[in-house]
Amino acid sequence: MRPRLLDYIILSGTLFIIGIFSFNAYGKALTPEECIITSPKGTWVYPLSKDSTLAVDGTLGVMEIEIHDGKVRVVFSPCKEKICIQTGAISKTGTWIACVPNRVFLKIEGKGDDETDTDSF
């Protein structure tokens, strides 16, 4: 039995649809990673590629945040427990630091090296 025109159309359409799904899943260009900082006073976005020291107002007072060498860390916080400082620096997409008493949240977003989190347990 010889292939007919409809067979070629169906095969072409299927390959086209697979190609579109594959491009959407794997072919997007990498976007630069950014640090999104949210506090009761607002939300700010900073690139990880530019070193800077930031002062962010929270409910307890001013918090000092440092962006250096593509990493973000909390240098000073007026909170009691200082867990946000003890967290250390973060640099991977999807990681975050929260200072709950001061109501400040830092998160890394962008499409970078998505790796499996081997520190989860």
For the chain, the straight-line distance linking the first and the last C-alpha, in angstroms and rounded, comes to 57
Q: What length is written for the chain?
A: 121
Cα gap 111→35, rounded to integer Å: 12
- Residue 81: the pLDDT is 92
Per-residue tokens: 79: 């909170």
**Interval 24-41: pLDDT, tens:** 776 655 567 899 999 999
Query: At the topology level of CATH, where does 34-109 sit?
Result: mini-chromosome maintenance (MCM) complex, domain 2 (2.60.320)
pLDDT of residue 121: 47
> Going by C-beta distance under 8 Å and a sequence separation of 6 or more, which residues neighbour residue 57?
39, 40, 41, 63
58 CB-side CA count, 13 A: 24
Domain ranges of the chain: 34-109
